[in-house]
Structure 1
Amino acid sequence: MYDVINVFLATVDDDPARPTHGGIIFQPCLLPLCADGRVHEDEFIAAIKQQISKGKLVQLCIQWNFGVDDAAQAKFVETVTAVVDKYGFNGLEMMEFGFQLLDEGDGDFRQPTTPSVVNFISCMRKIKAKYGPNFGLTFSLSQRPFQFSSDAYAYRYNGSYLPVIHALRDDISTLGLTHNTDTLDDTGAPVPQDTSDYWVALADKPLGGFIAAGIPFPPFDASKVALNAALWDPRVDDAPRARLEKGLDCITKGTGCNALRIKGGPFPALLGVSAGYIQADELVGGPFRTVMRPYFDALAASSPSTKPASTNSAGTSPTPIANTTGSTSPSTSVSTTSSTSPSTSVSTADRPHENFHSKLIPAIVVPIVVLLIIALVLGFFVRRYRRSHRPTPQFRVVDLHMSPYAPPIQPWTHTGAYTSTLNQPKPTVPSPATDGLPTTRASRELDRLAALHSEMNRVGLSVDALQASLSRLGAADTASETGASDMPPPTYITSR
């Protein structure tokens, strides 16, 4: 039911003390060397041979990185070919494992200069040349190099895989797009996994092309691109299947699209989709296998010009591929025990509706800018007009000197001098502020004096008699309170 089977996993030998340093280590648990093994090594080799005889690719999955020198790269070729020859694999799946920091100035994926990148491309060409054009070569990559390599700085940190897959694009049989996070569209907004747009966004850059270090990166042929699909359990939730099929319809047929479309689509020659691992799908009844196989069979029947799904002698039509792990038995196909490679997010490239957006945005922004300019100009002239027509302030000269109507503060003197001032009549001087007319306060004082004078006349008491009595009383009180003290009285500041 699967056209491509990837057997998990060979790892990079990064121990300098081992003779295989720089190469790979592949140690499947097989009898008799592994006591826990379920099949014998000979049975495993026979199972691989049987699947290949059916026209399938059985690829060794390698978790690879970039060698640090020529010797490490040579060891890589030596160990890879040794494993391929021993077990009879007819292809390799190169899984992303770490990112090589590119040398400064290495900013063109078409002409890489970082030695480890250049050497790795050479190594893969040597392996491919040894086994011929039908030898499968798969690169399973996250979306990090596609999404975060647009400028020169980001390309140096994230783009090391791009010169490899670009140089080997004619030799690559499958470009696998792994996933495990939300993707980003071309505005930077996330595209959640629980939407059909997610699958469109996942395939967008490899199928539609993108910018790498300021240089357009050519799209891959759809017949080489496969999506790593999420498995589902229909007994729990069948919605993932519906979203996957709807996303595939948008990619391959141009129907059922939501917000996202891929530039240059649809792509009926899409290679297929891959399961995380076969065993997990079979444990829940094989929904991936039973749904995706008929889907791509029908797609192939409706698209006669569709290219083959895999590079093998059988030349089969586009069908699902499986990223599987583990060992085989002679009586079955492949039993699996391990999971898929990690992946990150993907961003989207230009859309067919981008022309609409490019027209809509200026139509909104330009009037707003014009209105702001008009408002600024009007505000300038209004402020200028107000300044030129501001009324001249009227100032009034105010005499800050104490009014002669206010009782002056008497300096401290001896008792005799103090009492003598009580007998002095206060001058009556017209206030300059009232043009000789008494103030309101003065008027109230005059009214009180007039009332006092009238009452004194009623009881037969003259003003002179009252003044004399008060003078005698004040002199007696002062003498009794102050005595002969020369200390001045306390001073208080009060408000009038």
Structure 2
Amino acid sequence: MIYLNLTSRLQQLLFITFFLLTTFALYAQTDCTNLPTWSSSAVYNGGDQVQHQDIAYEAKWWTQNENPASNSAQWDVWKVLGNCSGGGGGGGTTNTPPNGSITSPADGASFNSGNVISISANASDADGSVTNVEFLANGSVIGQDASSPYSFSWSGAAAGSHQLTVRVTDNEGATTTSSAITITVTNPPSGDCNGTPQYVEAGGYDAGSQVQNVGNIYQCREWPNSGWCDGGAAAYAPGTGSHWQDAWTFVSECGGGSGGGGGNSAPTVSITSPANNTTFSPGATINISADASDADGTVSKVSFYEDGTLLGEDTSAPYAYSWSGAPNGSHALTAVATDNEGATTTSTTVYVSVSSGGTPNPGLPDRVLVGYWHNFDNGSGVVKLRDVSPKWDVINIAFAEPTTQGGATMAFTPDNAIYSSTQEFKNDVAYLQSQGKKVLISIGGANGTIHLDNSQDAQSFSTTMTSIINEYGFDGLDIDLEGSSLSLAGGDTDFRNPVSPRVVHFIQGMDAVLANFGSDFVLTAAPETAYVQGGYSTYGGIFGAYLPVLYHYHNRLDLLHVQHYNTGCMLGLDDQCYSQGTADFHVAMGEMLMQGFSVAGNPTSFPAFRQDQIAIGLPASPSAAGGGYTATGTVIQALDYLIKGQSFGGNYTLINSAGYAGFRGLMTWSINWDINYGYEFSNTYRPYLDGLPTARSGSSKVLTPKIQLGPNPMTNHLHINLPEEASVALRLYNQAGQLMQEFGGSQTGGLQTWDVSSLSSGLYLLHVMHGEERSIYKLIKP
């Protein structure tokens, strides 16, 4: 979370102060001798300093590829420190921008669709060095190269005219975009596949050999002595393998337009089972079935593929294949039908995931509204927990932090400007819990950097966090690690088996904490997008750093509400980059978690989460974060599409067109900012969530019958009011799990009063059992 904002009156004073300081800074002198030059590819955290074009800057928060020269206004990411007085600043000289041009292909070149287009460029810098060359098609980045010779192989270019350019960045962050060249991509004429042999693995193909596969004709590329076209690995199967373009060149489609049996119609095929987005348990056999037919002939076989790899074939209806031993993760299933003349058709992809399951926490409602409560005043104002709106289901207390920055020993004390005593805070926690709310302690935050570098740190963390949770009676823990708290070290490439010390020992420490609590203990996480979805494109540093943790707690995690704010644009599953604050961004980032996604540099995809585990994190007001606030109408558009499949006509298209009916809810930073902004967040989204159909049978069940109890904190007597038809058992336990009192075994309706004067001060758990149902209420004895 980011604490940047003040109330409107103070904002005016801050703006004036900021303007004067910035004006002074522009004319101040800063020694840039030891400051690194800003790089568009580097990641910077708050407090990092750089030089750029003879001016020194300091990052206010996490940033990447945001040029300081154009992102240093009042609420932008960079703060101006002053002009460089010497050293690295170049003594006040002006940096000369780099040069770049495309050397290949030639302007006006033409290509067939399906072929790889090799693009080469020259790049130089007269007074420094070139740090990166980006390749653009029609203004959009399609690839990059950071070292000479600069080149990129473009596959999948659509038919039509394309303008190609390169954008060159030098060591001081200056950029130059080259002149454009124009190329044309055309669909080749359809050719008859009759007489062209069907591709088979290990078919002994030489350079120039032609085969047909998945409805197209391919020719073996001229790679002397490579053996690739021999098909020794399914990765090189033409048209389907993950590296087929290394071995084969697309020739034409099988259209049957000329030659021998012209006019042949391709078969039809579709996967009928399993259903899209089905989740299977590890070890389960996945039975895949398909319908296939041919209007002017017969179906000779149906081939079943997983992520482009052939699983098996069936030559007679009903077409089916039983897949056993499927690994954890998300998998793309396709079926390819081949008719008696060799024409082929590929089915629509069906996505499945393999996961060890897990069920929704019965203590959480069907739809949840999660809000963070400030244990400090950052300009939004403060509120006592007892006065928090009842619209919230989960209240995250922000934050438990290390006693020293970068430490492992955790501490939490209620702000004495809000609460006169620790006991008053505990009483308010218990009061919210008596209303059925879940009160969690959140760890970290933007200012609470936690470093668990070894086993001793893990033990310190677990011991102190367990103590905090027990002392205040929190219902669970929220993981909100930011900055360098989690980062991937060099050589850490597999999210399933992490080796980075801070990741390994954080998991070790968390395991020890969770071992002290039962299955009803609520576990949530609120990472920033770079740490999760960022792993789709890059796995290293903070990019993807949460993935090992999320994988480890994949089924234990009750809620994952990624922060959809304070972020740059992020790639969706369609490989397009979407910007925060838009409906497309929320839909694309949300679906990625419920579909699973490939991880850069890792052959295994990160598995999909259950729909009930996913919520979206949003700022409660424009002042609550540095960026990412989204108008309520836009959020509703995104939710209607993501949950109900009702498109708003955006650029992102759902893979699961029907939407995700089990999507759990929304999180906000913060309850305080919601109050400050006139309750827009809670007043808008509470009724929206309540208006959605029930998504999970029984998951929103509350104890029947409902009871009323008080006072809480208890005095010498506890009063419990039960409906007349109730027949319940009530047992009171201390924190150690010892049964302290059992109120007469079975109680019937009406007001019941019990003497608790003999109990010592502390936290107690009242178990109320009605048939097979159980509810637990936390009570405090002062």
| Shorter-normalised TM range | 0.5 to 0.7
Gaps of 5+ in 2: 1-390, 623-628, 705-711, 714-782
Post-superposition Cα deviations, 1:452-493, rounded to whole Å, max 9, x if no partner, equal: xxxxxxxxxxxxxxxxxxxxxxxxxxxxxxxxxxxxxxxxxx
2:683 maps to 290
Partners of 2:545 and 2:620 in 1: CA distance: 30
Instruction: From 108, 120, 127, give the equivalent of 2:513.
Output: 127
Shift in Å at residue 239 of structure 1? 7.8
Shift in Å at residue 182 of structure 1? 4.5
Instruction: From 82, 90, 96, give the equivalent of 2:475.
Output: 90
Shift in Å at residue 203 of structure 1? 1.2
Post-superposition Cα deviations, 1:403-447, rounded to whole Å, max 9, x if no partner, equal: xxxxxxxxxxxxxxxxxxxxxxxxxxxxxxxxxxxxxxxxxxxxx
Shift in Å at residue 298 of structure 1? 1.3
1:47 maps to 428
Instruction: From 51, 60, 75, give the equivalent of 2:441.
Output: 60
Greater strand share, structure number:
2
Describe the SS at the equivalent of 2:466.
helix
Range moving further from structure 2, 159-168 or 64-73: 64-73
2:550 maps to 165
Over 3 Å counting, the alpha-carbon distance change for 1:193 and 1:121 in structure 2 is: closer
1:106 is aligned to 2:499 = no
1:269 maps to 662
Instruction: From 583, 600, 608, give the equivalent of 1:196.
Output: 583
Task: Report the count of equivalent residues.
Answer: 299
2:397 maps to 7
Range moving further from structure 2, 189-198 or 60-69: 189-198
Post-superposition Cα deviations, 1:340-377, rounded to whole Å, max 9, x if no partner, equal: xxxxxxxxxxxxxxxxxxxxxxxxxxxxxxxxxxxxxx
Over 3 Å counting, the alpha-carbon distance change for 1:134 and 1:37 in structure 2 is: same
Partners of 1:72 and 1:252 in 2: CA distance: 41
Partners of 1:90 and 1:83 in 2: CA distance: 11
Partners of 1:110 and 1:291 in 2: CA distance: 39
The 5 A counterparts of 1:69-80 are 69-80=454-465
1:137 maps to 523
Q: Is the 8 A contact 1:269 1:306 kept in 2?
A: no
Partners of 1:228 and 1:132 in 2: CA distance: 27
Describe the SS at the equivalent of 1:5.
strand
1:484 maps to none
Partners of 2:638 and 2:519 in 1: CA distance: 32
Over 3 Å counting, the alpha-carbon distance change for 1:83 and 1:313 in structure 2 is: farther
Partners of 2:545 and 2:393 in 1: CA distance: 29
1:116 is aligned to 2:502 = yes
Q: Which amino acid letter does the alignment assign opposite residue 294 of structure 1?
A: P
Partners of 2:515 and 2:460 in 1: CA distance: 17
Q: Which amino acid letter does the alignment assign opposite residue 290 of structure 1?
A: N
Over 3 Å counting, the alpha-carbon distance change for 1:129 and 1:120 in structure 2 is: same
Shift in Å at residue 221 of structure 1? 1.2
Partners of 1:12 and 1:269 in 2: CA distance: 36
Shift in Å at residue 146 of structure 1? 2.8
Partners of 1:279 and 1:15 in 2: CA distance: 25
Larger RCO: Structure 1 or Structure 2 (Cα < 8 Å, ≥ 6 residues apart)? 1
1:355 maps to none
Post-superposition Cα deviations, 1:122-162, rounded to whole Å, max 9, x if no partner, equal: 221222221111111111111112333246x7335523311
Partners of 1:81 and 1:260 in 2: CA distance: 43
Shift in Å at residue 173 of structure 1? 1.2
Q: Is the 8 A contact 2:532 2:545 kept in 1?
A: no
Post-superposition Cα deviations, 1:233-292, rounded to whole Å, max 9, x if no partner, equal: 8xxxx9811000010001100003422133335111111101221122223431221221
2:606 maps to 217
Q: Is the 8 A contact 2:458 2:509 kept in 1?
A: yes
Q: Which amino acid letter does the alignment assign opposite residue 639 of structure 2?
A: L
- TM (norm. structure 1) is 0.55
Describe the SS at the equivalent of 1:293.
helix
Partners of 2:702 and 2:492 in 1: CA distance: 38
Q: Which amino acid letter does the alignment assign opposite residue 249 of structure 1?
A: D
Q: Is the 8 A contact 1:65 1:98 kept in 2?
A: no
Shift in Å at residue 307 of structure 1? 7.4
Q: Which amino acid letter does the alignment assign opposite residue 222 of structure 1?
A: Q
Describe the SS at the equivalent of 1:176.
strand
Partners of 1:241 and 1:143 in 2: CA distance: 21
Q: Is the 8 A contact 1:138 1:175 kept in 2?
A: yes
Q: Is the 8 A contact 1:9 1:60 kept in 2?
A: yes
Over 3 Å counting, the alpha-carbon distance change for 1:228 and 1:306 in structure 2 is: farther
1:423 maps to none
Shift in Å at residue 105 of structure 1? 3.6
1:183 is aligned to 2:574 = no
1:324 maps to none
Shift in Å at residue 78 of structure 1? 0.8
Q: Is the 8 A contact 2:490 2:540 kept in 1?
A: no
* Aligned-residue identity in percent: 25
Partners of 1:54 and 1:256 in 2: CA distance: 37
2:595 maps to 208
Q: Which amino acid letter does the alignment assign opposite residue 196 of structure 1?
A: A
Shift in Å at residue 180 of structure 1? 2.3
1:454 maps to none
Over 3 Å counting, the alpha-carbon distance change for 1:158 and 1:285 in structure 2 is: closer
Shift in Å at residue 116 of structure 1? 3.5
Over 3 Å counting, the alpha-carbon distance change for 1:79 and 1:194 in structure 2 is: closer
Q: Which amino acid letter does the alignment assign opposite residue 429 of structure 2?
A: I
Post-superposition Cα deviations, 1:14-61, rounded to whole Å, max 9, x if no partner, equal: 469xxxx5221213223xxxxx34443212101111212222210111
Greater helix share, structure number:
1
Partners of 2:506 and 2:419 in 1: CA distance: 35
Describe the SS at the equivalent of 1:131.
coil
Partners of 1:60 and 1:194 in 2: CA distance: 28
Range moving further from structure 2, 70-79 or 196-205: 196-205
Over 3 Å counting, the alpha-carbon distance change for 1:282 and 1:306 in structure 2 is: farther
